[in-house]
Amino acid sequence: MLRTVKTKYGILEGVPCGDPRITCFWGVPYAKPPVAELRWAAPQEPEAWEGVRHADRKPPIAMQPQPGEDWTDFYTKELNPTGYEYTLSEDCLYLNIWSPAKSDKEKLPVFFYIHGGGFTAGYPFEVEFDGERVARNDVIFITVGYRLNALGFFSHPELRDECLGNQGLLDQLAALRWVQENISCFGGDPTRVTICGQSAGGMSVSSIINSPLSEGLVSGAIMMSGGGLRPPKGGVGPWLSMEEAERFGVELFEAVGAKNLIEARQVPASVIMRTALGRWKDGKNGPLRWRPVIDGCFFEAELRDVILSGKNLNVPIMIGCCRDENRPRAGAFGGLLDMEGFRKMICAEYGDQAETLLSMCDLSSEEAFQKFQHDEAGLAMGYTGAMAYARNNAALGRKAWTFVFDHDIPGDDVGSFHGSDMWFVFDSLGHSWRPFSGKHYDLARQVSSYWCNFVKTGDPNGVDRIGEKLPEWKPFDEEDEFTICFKDAPVRFDEGNVELKRFTQKHFLE
């Protein structure tokens, strides 16, 4: 097996996985450590090294609140049960690479994964990721660490000549450029690199394929529970203006007592992070004040405008969400509105079309409305944004495959919650505390095969890992509107109220 590779920067020696046919290269540097005078700078090319670098241990994770310490948090149990073991550091710009190649001549397709966490938290080896299982599908699997929160999405008037912001996204692009230059050494094909991400990772994927800086770096894109089209009046996740972002930067300097950029770069990273995430926790924007900015460089315009105009990368995409993402529970994002709050929200968003939409909703009683709101996917921004993105792609004559996860989650009554799809995509059910059984493992084999087929060919259809033909997954078409639903097995998503779904999707396209 290919255990030692010679990259542009030096020789790397990986380690065999539990399946010895897979080699993992942990902690591969793709940029210089962004510390001291490089804090908040654009990523710089890594330095070469002498001799053999042993890529045998997990690298530090980006500065964030230590994951895994709050055992009352829903996601500690689900995704971060060992997060407390990992070292936090600004020095976090590393790749982790799993390769099944026997030689550097194989030209295997590349599955490049970007973790989520609201641009504030998360790391590239959470318990639900299983690079070994993915690589067994004859692809090279890569996870990337990138800067987060105020260390990765920061603007300030003094930084205009160095980096306008979006440091975390520029990190991801730097990693993709590193892959272009070096992945052939690992047996990979630099012309077949598919990027995939969940939540903020999905938003990152959307950001990359809608940036003029990504030309030639990506052959396909998968957006999971993030990255869909936003409604005309914004919704959650529109990027900041430079004016807003720089104002937040000035406020942070004041909060940590730094008079200028030189002093701010001397403040401990932990102080920057804790202040940025704590001081404005209950105020406007809160932690989401540290998010991408329309800088005129990485983004020439708001994503919505780029998507609608078709001035983005013309690559095949897969996009979708989990069915119960908005379901009220521990760890949920917000909750359901009462009927009056819902009316106000719809009137504010839909204007003179509001009554048309309200006429499609069950407002016969508060109880009936709550059930309707809970059950109707067409009211969920994640679902509607994904389908609107695909509908726009179809109108442009481009390929998009859409999906909804509505899988059975054993252990407690939480439904297909935000992030639960990752266990199936990475075929990693054995890492979960939940009592998954045979049907879940069958579904995981099928889902992971769809994802890897897409990485290989730009089309999810074909056979699964054991050679069985997968149920047909048609690309989204404006007439057929096919979306696959992952229940106990893959089936067509078809739960009625088509008129409402079309109405909300077309509103997103206005």
pLDDT tens across 164-221, in order?
999 999 999 999 999 999 999 999 999 999 999 999 999 999 999 999 999 999 999 9
pTM of the model: 0.96
pLDDT at 373 over 90: no
Dihedrals phi, psi of 43, to nearest 5 degrees = -60, 140
Pairing of strands 94-99, 140-144: antiparallel
Strand order in the sheet with 4-7: 4-7, 10-13, 52-54
pLDDT at 231 over 90: no
The three-class DSSP label of residue 137 is coil
Instruction: State the Cα–Cα distance between residues 73 and 80, nearest whole angstrom.
Output: 10
Angle subtended by helix axes 242-256 and 269-278, to nearest 10: 120
In the block, tokens 């999405």 appear at: 153
CB 129 within 8 A of CB 431: no
Q: Which residues contact 354 (CB under 8 A, 6 or more apart)?
A: 343, 346, 347
- Residue 278: the pLDDT is 87
Instruction: State the Cα–Cα distance between residues 95 and 58, nearest whole angstrom.
Output: 10
Taking residues 426-430, report their average pLDDT: 97
At 55-77, the pLDDT tens digits run 999 999 999 999 999 888 899 99
Instruction: State the Cα–Cα distance between residues 68 and 84, nearest whole angstrom.
Output: 5
Pairing of strands 94-99, 23-29: antiparallel
- Residue 459 has which token pair? 């089309």
**What sign for the dihedral angle of Cα 113, 117, 119, 123?**
negative
**In the chain, where the domains are located:** 1-315, 327-510
- pLDDT confidence bin for 286, thresholds 50/70/90: low
In the block, tokens 């994927």 appear at: 205
Q: Among the listed ranges 34-43, 85-94, 327-336, 492-501, which one has the minimum average pLDDT value?
A: 327-336
pLDDT at 282 over 60: no
Q: Among the listed ranges 308-312, 403-407, 412-416, which one has the minimum average pLDDT value?
A: 412-416
- pLDDT confidence bin for 332, thresholds 50/70/90: very low
- Residue 409 has which token pair? 């989650």
At 138-157, the pLDDT tens digits run 999 999 999 999 999 999 99
Mean pLDDT of the chain: 93
What CATH number is given for 327-510 in this structure? 3.40.50.1820
- pLDDT confidence bin for 288, thresholds 50/70/90: confident
Residues with a catalytic annotation lie at: 199
Q: Which CATH number fits domain 1-315: 3.60.150.10, 3.40.50.1820, 3.30.70.360, 3.40.50.2300?
A: 3.40.50.1820
Instruction: State the Cα–Cα distance between residues 304 and 261, nearest whole angstrom.
Output: 33
Taking residues 392-398, report their average pLDDT: 95
pLDDT at 34 over 60: yes
